[in-house]
Amino acid sequence: MTDNNWIDRDNEIAKLEVKLYPRCVKFEKEPTLSATGYIVPCCWADSSTFEGLESLMKPHLHIDNVDSVEDIILSEEWDEFFDVLTNKPKEAPLICKKYCCTDKSFKNRGDYEIKR
């Protein structure tokens, strides 16, 4: 698939009104500390652009500027982010629409043993 096809597909997904099953809201998917020093809702959201997550990348939410991770997760910005996911999914970031548009678990999740 060419880059333009990926861009076209992403633009179409971004426009969709989908039902979301946000795993981050119930902390089924744990927040992630990005290499830039910001907490993001999950590992899928950890990218170089943080597209759609700009409100969570404000300087006062940087890990160096808080006393605890709770200061970030319980912030007004995070409250607004969770509100969008649960009450206004059409406005949700593209990454959320891509990965949280199904209530099905991914095949690699669940109980399994690591074979050596």
The residue among 108 and 35 whose pLDDT is bigger is 35
Query: Nearest-CA neighbor of 23 among 103, 79, 112?
Result: 103
What residue segments make up the domains of the chain, in order of their start?
A: 18-98
pLDDT attached to residue 114: 41
Q: Hey, which residues does 33 pair with through a beta bridge? A: 39
Q: Give residues with Cβ within 8 angstroms of 9, minimum separation 6.
A: none
Handedness of CA 42, 22, 84, 4 (dihedral sign): positive
Average pLDDT over residues 21-25: 85
Mean pLDDT throughout 11-39?
Answer: 81
Closest by CA position to 72, among listed 58, 84, 61: 61
- State the pLDDT at residue 113: 47
